[in-house]
Chains A and B, each alone.
Chain A
Amino acid sequence: MSGYWSGILAILAINIIFAYGIFVTATAGQLNLGGAGFMAIGAYGAAMLGEQLGWTPALTVPAATLLTALVGIGIAFPVLRTRGVYMVLATFAFAQVVTGIILTQPALGGAMGLVVTEYVDLPVLLGVAAAVTIGVFWLTATRLGLAMRALHDDELVAVLMGVPARAVQVAGFAIGGGLAGLAGALYAHHFSFVEAQYFSPLLSIYVLLFVLIGGTQTAWGPLVGASFFTIVPELLRIGGSWRYVVFGVMIVAMMMFRPEGMVTRTLLARLMGRRRHADAG
């Protein structure tokens, strides 16, 4: 495999894990536009633990994931006091605070970034992405996942059915934050370098688009969305600088024709119904 394609596969694996982080929170009805902030905490957490304490990735990656999950819990309480667009802005502001802190702290490398010496190779990234994918499918099949989807649809009714709303929403932020942090930690160890500029608002917007355009109704959505957003722009490279225009038009068309995302439950039901039908016939 060429270096070019293995680089794209690495980004794809990281994007899938990152997208699932945003998806889990979105499943419970919360839009997180601070994805880059959580990813940055995971990346810098792993980098610092590796460089300062000499931990290996087998330790830094889980520790950074746990750290980001705890930050997710901490941030959930103030954020969950807000609603709708204000919640989106609150999460966005959180990410700005994170990159602001990184840029002003010399110990974190400031604008120069940090070198990460311990390397994690592509097969590990792909393996973790596969495990996260299976894990999120499992989560959506659990009663916790059902409670999350119910909160997304109708919070009052979910509460009146006995769903512990606040606990489930905080769990959504913890798991989602943890996965974004995991993506960041793997990014740091694979690309051997982290800098604050990478964790820009644009990254937060992109990952939210992966999830919203992929579809939030099933765990297939982020997988399809992240793959689409990672691979299609590369394929469009043959079109030169027109690729941005073509890609932008594709996104607008998707919003118009599939506002609930590329993969919806009705689409899956139709696909599976056809298979059942074919079996019978």
Chain B
Amino acid sequence: MPDEALLTVAGIGKAFGGLRVVDDVSFTVPRGGRLGLIGPNGAGKTTVFNLISGVYPLDAGTITLDGKAIGTLPPRDRVLAGMARSFQNIRLMPHLSAVENVMLGQQARASGLGALLTPIGWMPRGRWRRDAEALLAEAGLDIDPGDVVSSLPYGIRKKIEVVRALASRPKLLLLDEPAAGLNPAETAELARFLRKIAEGGTALLVVEHDMGFVDEVCDRVVVLNFGKRIYEGSMAGARADALVREAYLGADAA
């Protein structure tokens, strides 16, 4: 049902020098859907994220979010159209506190001069601050929201990144390896948290290497190899697919 699609990526391509890193890739994320984007290292997954969020310009193809063509818009306008993302390597603002990082994520909801000049740092009971603290608590983060993030452990910072992206109340959340570097308990907790977010109606697009995690969080996967889409369907189907097995294990093993 095309009218049910929230994100439509159609025939996108990107080359760096002579290397086609993403080649004619298409997929859709339905409203409230949970799509996993998987593939071996160097398959082009993060590049697809960078193309969707506008870090790089597209060489080819179109991207539509919620009925709006966003493929040529600057990154900020894509955020305003309803998407938010996290990063493969934690990219929180190291000098800001946890709650300030999350309030930064609210930026897309707080345009206008009045919002810009509100002294949120002086309003511990203001709605922006309470909103950010509530989101941190919802994610099960038992920290002092005023802690500077560079002093917090890896697993917690990883989770704050997800919370920061959520703070814009996106329709579509792009997560780039959210479980990388987490221990099994943290991974399981993150999966539960993401399912809860998805139940709230936020669509997820997740790049991840941990297949168990993808299986638990996503209802469908797209597999990339050398920049091309080689499979789309269920996780179980992907596990059984000859092309997918070959991509991961090499031609001999398959």
Contacts and interface: CB of A to CB of B under 8 A. Distances in A.
Q: Do A and B bind each other?
A: yes
Interface of A: 138, 140-147, 149-150, 152-154, 156-165, 217, 265-266, 269
A146 B85 contact: no
Contacts of B117: 142-144
A156 B55 contact: yes
A150 B120 contact: no
B45 interface: no
B227 to A, nearest CB: 23
Contact of A266 (B53, B87, B108, B151): B151
Which of A149, A150, A162, A266 has the most B CB atoms < 10 Å from its CB?
A162
Given A149-B95, A163-B76, A265 B121 contact: no
Contacts of A138: 119, 122
Given A159-B75, A162-B80, A142 B121 contact: yes
Given A143-B115, A146-B121, A158 B104 contact: yes
B73 to A, nearest CB: 12
Contacts of A161: 79, 84, 104-105, 107-108, 164, 168
A266 B93 CA distance: 14
A162 B121 contact: no
A190 B193 CA distance: 62
A266 B53 CA distance: 33
Which of A144, A149, A161 has the most B CB atoms < 10 Å from its CB?
A161
Given A142-B121, A143-B103, A265-B148, A160 B85 contact: yes
Contacts of A147: 104, 107, 116
Contacts of A156: 55
B208 to A, nearest CB: 20
Main secondary structure of the interface of A (DSSP, over half): helix
B110 interface: yes
B117 to A, nearest CB: 5
A265 B95 contact: yes
Which of B54, B95, B103 has the most A CB atoms < 10 Å from its CB?
B95
B91 interface: yes
A102 to B, nearest CB: 35
Contact of B121 (A140, A160, A164, A217): A140
Interface of B: 53-55, 75-76, 79-80, 84-85, 87, 91, 93-96, 100, 103-105, 107-108, 110-111, 115-122, 128, 146, 148, 151, 164, 168
A3 B107 CA distance: 50
Contacts of B105: 161
Contacts of A152: 95
A144 B96 CA distance: 14
A159 B54 CA distance: 10
Given A143-B116, A159-B76, A266-B151, 15 more contacts: A143-B118, A147-B104, A147-B116, A153-B96, A154-B93, A156-B55, A160-B54, A161-B105, A161-B107, A161-B168, A162-B107, A163-B107, A164-B111, A165-B76, A269-B146
Q: Across chains A and B, which 4 residue pairs bring their CB atoms closest together, nearest first?
A: A141-B121, A162-B108, A141-B119, A162-B79
Contact of B95 (A142, A160, A217): A217
B66 to A, nearest CB: 16
B118 A150 contact: no
A160 B78 CA distance: 9
B127 to A, nearest CB: 12
25 contacts: A141-B120, A141-B121, A142-B117, A142-B119, A143-B117, A146-B96, A146-B121, A147-B116, A149-B93, A149-B100, A150-B93, A150-B104, A153-B94, A154-B91, A156-B55, A158-B104, A159-B76, A160-B53, A161-B104, A161-B105, A161-B108, A161-B164, A163-B107, A164-B111, A265-B148
Nearest to A168: B116
A160 B55 contact: yes
A143 B79 contact: no
B119 A153 contact: no
